[in-house]
Amino acid sequence: MYVCICNQVNERAIAEAVRSGARSLDCLITALDVATCCGKCADDARRVIDNTLVGDAYAGGCDLATDAAA
């Protein structure tokens, strides 16, 4: 699904950028030009960042409770 229609950026591109190190909207703006036109996609882009980070943590077997306490 497209997140940023103005710049034709989809969820997959954002997830790939997150996995490559983009951990904030500012990083995505630099990497993909997300939210640089109308800005309506900023909240959705942040949501994809968060979902990717959480999903990758679970997929990697990360115990969030243990890691948070460490």
pTM score: 0.79
Could you tell me the residue ranges of all domains in the chain? 2-65
pLDDT of residue 56: 75
Q: For the CA atoms of the chain, what is the radius of gyration?
A: 13
Contact 35, 28 (CB under 8 A): yes
CA geometry: angle at 26 spanning 41 and 69, to 5°?
105
Query: SS3 of 42, please?
Result: helix
16-66: per-residue pLDDT in tens? 999 999 999 999 999 999 999 999 999 999 999 999 999 876 665 555 554
- Band of residue 69 on the pLDDT scale cut at 50, 70, 90: very low
- In whole angstroms, what is the distance from residue 4 CA to residue 45 CA? 8
The verdict on domain 2-65 having CATH code 3.40.140.10 is: no
- Band of residue 70 on the pLDDT scale cut at 50, 70, 90: very low
pLDDT of residue 59: 62
pLDDT of residue 30: 96
